[in-house]
Amino acid sequence: MRRPTLYGSLTRRGLSTGGIPDIVASEGFVVGEVTKKSILISCPHENVSTKFLAPYTTFCRIHQKSITCLDISSGGGLGVSTSTDGTMKIWQAANGEIRRLLEGHVYDVNCCRFFPSGLVVLSGGMDAQLKIWSAEDASCVVTFKGHKGGILDTAIVDRGRNVLSCSRDGTARLWDCGKSACLGVIADCGSPVNGIAVGTADNSLNLGTPEKAPSEREIGTEWKILLLAREDKKLQGVGLQSRQPVFLFVGSDAFNCCTFLSSTYILAGTQDGNIYQLDVRNTNAPIQVIHRSGAPVLSLLPYRDGFIASQGDGTCFIVQQDLDYVLDLTEADCDPVYKVASWEKQIYTCCRDGIVRRYQLFDL
């Protein structure tokens, strides 16, 4: 059941003492707390409210063009990002100062992420190569080859002895970092796999049995489920160790991204703006479908008791179960927000306009 969109306007009447804007809302809306970085707006009749948050800082000089992916290290000190300017860079998360340039992919780099240690980076490119880099000296220590099409997403199993990738070639593969070898094709979908996520499955779920004994090089694949966000409108769950299908859910459009909220609840976003929340134990019908706009859902990230979503029209919002309002991260305007990363109370976004924005959530 979709609720109708509520429309209203805000007017700034001037600045009050301390430089805080004096704001009034149109009929039916109420302006709550206003600070230099946030405005709380509510519509009492519909019992909804949204807090609009401005970035704490913006980094404009990391890349020259659209930034397609970013991640923040586990200690919060470093960021890594990829861009359509053909570069991948490591920078200081506090001030955006560039530390390292990671060079070696041919064509665009689609995705990047830190290993849990925060000292190593995993990247995937349109050259169908998966690479592992040292964040300390920018050397490429491992290159994985085997995919027949551009790599669209990656995932790391536990501490990172094994990693996963998915590709335009329709496959998801498991790799052994120590021997730089492919341990197997986890799924072959016959349709591009746009996004993947790995998580520990609820123990009531039957993940199937492997047809042959797993390699001793597989570390931490048991009890794990791999989610595949597919271009052919399907969200698939596969037993990581068994390679057996666990569920197949058909959505409204191509799935772009997916993530785990817990061992039972998952989220997946589609090209037509739907965010499906599913229970992995019963995927016949979604628990809920969240639809903010018809723009593609590009990124989903678990956050506290809820999640952060970003879309192709510049919307980026945080839904929290314990908050009676939605947090809207503003300023991207109509440029797609491709990826969101978080470290404690700081949220980082990257956008088609080539800017990394950092939001500070003081009161969450």
Q: If you write DSSP's letter for every residue of 271-332 in order, what string do you get?
A: TTSEEEEEETTB-SS-SEEEES-SSPEEEEEEETTEEEEEETTS-EEEEETT-SSEEEE---
* Confidence (pLDDT) at 286: 97
pLDDT at 324 over 80: no
pLDDT at 2: 61
Q: Average pLDDT of 241-250?
A: 97
CB-side neighbour CA atoms (13 Å) of 35: 12
Distance CA 156, CA 11 (A): 47
Q: Which is more confidently placed, 45 or 92?
A: 92
Q: Which pLDDT belongs to residue 118?
A: 96
Q: Cα–Cα distance between 82 and 105 in angstroms, integer?
A: 11
Q: Above 70 in pLDDT, residue 49?
A: yes
Q: Indicate the pLDDT class of residue 107, thresholds 50, 70 and 90.
A: confident
pLDDT at 47 over 80: yes
Predicted model pTM: 0.94
What pLDDT was estimated at residue 19?
84
Mean pLDDT, all residues of the chain: 94
Question: For the chain, what percent of residues have pLDDT higher than 90?
Answer: 85
Residue 1 has pLDDT above 60, yes or no: no
pLDDT tens digits, 186-218: 999 999 999 999 999 998 999 999 999 899 999
